[in-house]
Structure 1
Amino acid sequence: MSEPISKDTAEHYVWGKVCDGWHLVRSSDLSVIEECMPPGSEEQRHWHQRARQFFYVLEGELTMQFDGRTVALKPQQGIEIAYGVPHQAKNVSGADVRFIVISQPPSHDDRQT
């Protein structure tokens, strides 16, 4: 039976030395992660063979680069990234950005650089 979950009770991990992630849903067919990126942080540009992802901003501004475009997402905005599309998330603002990443199937073993 499912129980309520929050970042206070979820499994936590650190990525990119300064960014935080909390596994809100971690199953074989779906991943939902809350992430926090401090100012000036970014992930390595990468793509996924199978996973499609949806990034949804809770607080701050998330900059996404993909398909030769740069898109700044503000709170209550999101964007889908299809599998096979190289992309990179960045925080070029002066404040933390908090967002949700939904991946189907999960993307952790599917990352290509």
Structure 2
Amino acid sequence: MILTHNQGAEKPEKISKENAEHYIWGERCDGWHLVKGQELSVIHERMPGNTAEVRHYHEKSRQFFFVLSGVAILEVAGVRHEVGQQEGVEVPPGVAHQMKNEGTSDVEFLVISQPTTRGDRVQVD
């Protein structure tokens, strides 16, 4: 069981895309908060084909990107990583990165951040 997205929840509850807090980022990408705490964030994200996030870094947050389905490109410090299903890449604090879906099919992945990235994102041109 995983704690709900409700910070400070005392009683564990099952969480999934169907009951998690949902948001849209970029123009057409989806995110679902599976764990939404100050010390830990777990987000299930979906990127349709030919989409990308803005290149950025986090001053404090360490992240781990884990692909559930599809193939993503995760650029980390100028190095392109092709990340397939059931593969992941860790991104340390202070390192610029950008997740991309250069294919035509959706990519679904988990983004695990410790601590949360809220208020800790610096965009890189």
* TM-score using structure 2 length: 0.89
Q: Distance in 1 between matches of 2:77 and 2:61?
A: 17
Alignment correspondent of 2:3: none
Deviation at 1:68, TM superposition (A): 1.8
> Which one of 11, 16, 23 corresponds to residue 13 of structure 1?
23
Residue aligning to 2:98: 88
- Structure 1 residue ranges (4+ consecutive) displaced by more than 3 angstroms after TM superposition: none
Q: Deviation of residue 108 (structure 1)? A: 2.4
Provide the aligned C-alpha RMSD in A.
Answer: 0.6
Which one has a bigger Cα radius of gyration?
A: 2
Query: Matched residue pairs, number?
Result: 113
Q: Secondary structure at the match of 2:53?
A: coil
> Which residue among 19, 24, 45 is the counterpart of 2:55?
45
**% identity of equivalent residues:** 49
> What are the Cα deviations for residues 10-32 of structure 1, in whole angstroms up to 9, with x where unaligned?
00000001100000000110000
Residue 88 of structure 2 corresponds to 78
SS at match of 1:28: coil
Q: Report Cα offsets for 1:16-50 as digits up to 9, x if no partner.
A: 01100000000110000000000010000000000
**Structure 2 unmatched ranges of 5 or more:** 1-10
**Structure having greater relative contact order (Cα 8 Å, sep ≥ 6):** 1
Q: 2:73 aligned to 60, 63, 74, which one?
A: 63
Distance 1:68 1:62 in 2: 15
Q: Counterparts of 1:66 and 1:80 in 2: how far apart (Å)?
A: 9
Any gaps of 5 or more consecutive residues in structure 1?
Answer: none
SS of alignment partner, residue 107 of structure 1: coil
